[in-house]
A and B are shown apart, each in its own frame.
Chain A
Amino acid sequence: MSGSAPIEADEASPFWHASRSKVLVLPWCTACERPHWYPRVACPTCLGSDLVWRPASGNGTVYAVSVHHRPGMGRSPNDCPYTVALVDLPEGVRMLANVVDCEPSEVEVGDAVQVSWRPLDDGRHLITFAPTSKAG
């Protein structure tokens, strides 16, 4: 599957570093003790800038899902159909990612999914999810 590699902004560096070892970490604010997503320079709840990165369980639940029959930016028609989902993590954040290792049309709202990783050319990994029953 094609796709443009995301840039590695300073505030997201720990996430991308951990992705090299296929470990999911989330940014937490030490002031209000909340996680957030996507990575920011400050906590979107209290604007605190003392952030720490903690491992996540890697579990998730599909909140919404769309099978794309026409490619988004950086994808080609040959990649279609593919599944784009919003996935709720029990830590309290929501991520947009592909659900892979299954028929695109099989993914439904409410499905349990688990983190998997797609290698990028530079050693980092793009986060994806796979149905829990099928995830390694």
Chain B
Amino acid sequence: MGEGTLRGAAAIVGVADAVSPTGELDDHGRALEVRVVREALDDAGLTIADVDGLCCSGAPGGLAEHLGLDLAFVEGTFTGGSSFEVHVEHAAAAIAAGLCEVVVGVYAQTPRSDRRQGRQGGTPFPAGPNPILDWEAPHGLAVPVGAYALAASRHMAEFGTTPEQLARIAVDARSWAAANPSARFRDPITVDDVLASPMVASPLHQLDCCLVTDGAGAFVLTSAERANDLARAPAWVLGAATSSRHWMISEMPDLTTTAGAVSGPAAMALAGIKPSDVDVLLAYDSFTITALLHLEDLGFCAKGEGGAFVEDGHVAPGGTLPMNTNGGGLSYTHPGQYGMFLLVEAVRQLRGDAPGLQVDGATIAVAHGAGGFLSTMSTVVLGSEVTR
């Protein structure tokens, strides 16, 4: 299959998410998965009988059975928070190759209510040998915040990035969240508030860290032929790429450059766009440093200049590069694998029905997922009809 055939071969035609300002949802487990699958299919104007492909970030057999699906395409890749961008990439390629026609992707996790109600939950980390337990945990590395703190430390030492600059990312996320009624936190914060919040793992403070909330989401991806017949405006998959070269932080070759420096340009090249064409950037903000590295690696500013870029107000409401317009993992929701919500917000921005601040006339949105410990990066470029 040639590289160009993925562009425009598939579109996201339905999305749903379940998020609450309390951070907790009434449903959990299969009930929550079923709810968002149903809502995403309703949004698309399709039914469960149309579905011949399923994506989830773990063993998909049980979920497929629960939904009563008869599948031609099954995708259970787990790369942490970027899993869902990987799923869109793989599902779009499968649709382009004619393997399937209507693929549903789903995610639900409820760490906040699980903890309060004493339920088993948590991230489905793969079974088997885990070198993190042998070579990082015995040294007391706090997971995951310690890994990101080390990256922030290196970025500061190498480029002079300041705690104030990192804090600005949290402040801007909160400014976006202020307009989103579903967001966990909406009250404005200042750089001083971030710096005055308790230090967790230097140089990262509490407010440099993402939330821990319940949350769920789903998308429906289908072929160009089917997408054109549906009621909602399709969000076309213009490009997608993934790059992965380490898992644990001590194996990351250069802590100031992520695999996004490969996946981002590759996805944009496939889409035929450059960074300045992007109207909305949904860039996984597990921590403030995570989003800063994405800005540099995806080419929105030069390496080392992310701090100055955010300090200039580019990613705030009214800035040149609207970023994490729903409030992000820092202020909207973060159940553990936030990548699903990047896709949902990207689609809504392209349709013009964002729940918070709408970017006027957005035609190109990038969802950039980060998984593990700045590990597996996956970039999806979505576009409205005019970009196809």
A residues contacting B by CB (< 8 A) are 3-7, 9, 12, 37-38, 63-75, 79, 82, 84-86, 94-98, 105, 108-110, 126, 128
B127 at the interface (CB under 8 A from A): no
B95 to chain A, nearest CB (A): 35
In the complex, A75 Cα to B152 Cα: how many Å? Answer: 22
In the complex, A5 Cα to B134 Cα: how many Å? Answer: 9
In the complex, A69 Cα to B139 Cα: how many Å? Answer: 14
Q: Which residue of B lies closest to A93 (CB)?
A: B250
Asked if B250 and A74 sit within 8 Å, CB to CB, the answer is no
B21 at the interface (CB under 8 A from A): no
Cβ-defined partner of B154 (8 Å) among A4, A79, A105, A109: A109
Given contacts A6-B134, A84-B150, contact A70 B141 (CB under 8 A): no
User: How many residues of B sit at the interface, in one of the four size bands?
Assistant: 20 to 34
Given contacts A64-B151, A68-B140, A70-B142, contact A7 B134 (CB under 8 A): yes
List A contacts of B134 (CB < 8 A): 6-7, 9, 12, 38
B290 to chain A, nearest CB (A): 15
B352 at the interface (CB under 8 A from A): no
Cβ-defined partner of A84 (8 Å) among B131, B146, B198, B255: B146
In the complex, A52 Cα to B242 Cα: how many Å? Answer: 35
Given contacts A72-B137, A95-B250, A96-B135, contact A64 B255 (CB under 8 A): yes
In the complex, A95 Cα to B250 Cα: how many Å? Answer: 6
Given contacts A79-B140, A84-B146, A126-B138, contact A110 B157 (CB under 8 A): yes
List B contacts of A126 (CB < 8 A): 138-139
B182 at the interface (CB under 8 A from A): no
Cβ-defined partner of B138 (8 Å) among A5, A63, A67, A82: A5
Asked if A109 and B133 sit within 8 Å, CB to CB, the answer is no
List A contacts of B213 (CB < 8 A): none
Asked if B142 and A72 sit within 8 Å, CB to CB, the answer is yes
Q: Which of B75-83, B200-208, B321-329, B357-365 has 4 or more CB atoms under 8 Å from chain A?
A: B200-208
B163 to chain A, nearest CB (A): 13
Query: Which parts of B254-294 form the interface with A (CB within 8 Å)?
Result: 255
Query: Which parts of B133-182 form the interface with A (CB within 8 Å)?
Result: 133-143, 145-146, 149-154, 157-158
Most interface-central of A5, A6, A71, A94 (chain B CB within 10 A): A6
Cβ-defined partner of A72 (8 Å) among B143, B151, B153, B198: B143
B129 at the interface (CB under 8 A from A): yes
List B contacts of A75 (CB < 8 A): 140
Asked if A96 and B199 sit within 8 Å, CB to CB, the answer is no
Asked if A68 and B146 sit within 8 Å, CB to CB, the answer is yes
Cβ-defined partner of A69 (8 Å) among B141, B201, B255: B201
A105 to chain B, nearest CB (A): 8
B88 at the interface (CB under 8 A from A): no
Most interface-central of B140, B141, B154 (chain A CB within 10 A): B140
B367 at the interface (CB under 8 A from A): no
B249 at the interface (CB under 8 A from A): yes
B149 to chain A, nearest CB (A): 4
Q: Which residue of B lies closest to A38 (CB)?
A: B135
B289 to chain A, nearest CB (A): 11
